[in-house]
Amino acid sequence: MSDLSSRKVLIVVHDWGIEETELTRPLGDLREAGVQVTLAAPTLNDVETLQHDRYPGAAVTPDALISDVAAADFDLLVVPGGTCNVDHLRINPSAIQLAKDFAQSGKTIAAICHGPWLLVNAGVLGGKTLTSCRYISADVENAGGVHEDREVVVDNASGWKLITSRKPDDLDAFVGAIKEAL
């Protein structure tokens, strides 16, 4: 694998309800690979993760506020899942604008599980093929995306790359596709 130390990744989350491994695996694995990773949230208080949307998980300290980061400063955006996480994130104006800016700039976005919900609300899924957790497949299709039930889907349509996966069991493929895109 090439040197990833010059690459910059932004992970955006709400302050509660993030699926633990869908945050901690990309965050840890990418940092271990030398990637400069910034975790952004609505506040600088520790974000609270959950395991399986139910059981308390690790608390993680964000590096920046969502409202203070810009797509221009990063190569790739990661949107972890967690039902409550993305349900709140998808109505956050700053998060919606970030997703739009990444897509309009031709930059890569990676989303897992409920993560594509943010992209539904950002209006950027038209013509894209992707996967997600099964619970939001109708939302993805209603937003103009083509939903497939696969471990990882990489789509280059519409001038930007989208990497998606369904669930925590797909994290090896998801993180691998992110590293490959970088």
pLDDT digits over 13-30, tens only? 999 999 999 999 999 999
- Distance between CA atoms of residues 82 and 79, nearest Å: 10
Write out the residue range of the structural domain in which residue 66 sits.
Answer: 8-181
> Is 113 part of the annotated catalytic residue set?
yes
**CATH code at 145?**
3.40.50.880
Rounded-to-integer distance, Cα 157 and Cα 161, Å: 7
* DSSP-assigned beta bridge partners for residue 37: 9
Please indicate, yes or no, if residue 19 is contained in any of the structural domains.
yes
Q: Global pTM?
A: 0.98
Q: Per the structure, how many domains does the chain have?
A: 1
Give me the catalytic one of 47, 79, 113, 152: 113
Asked if the structure places residue 1 within a domain, the reply is no
Residue 2's pLDDT band, with cuts at 50, 70 and 90, is confident
Is there a contact between 120 and 102 (Cβ–Cβ < 8 Å)? no
Residue 75 placed within a domain? yes
Q: Residue 138 and residue 156: Cα distance in Å, rounded? A: 21
108-141 confidence digits (pLDDT tens):
999 999 999 999 999 999 999 999 999 999 999 9
Task: Tell me whether residue 83 is in a domain.
Answer: yes
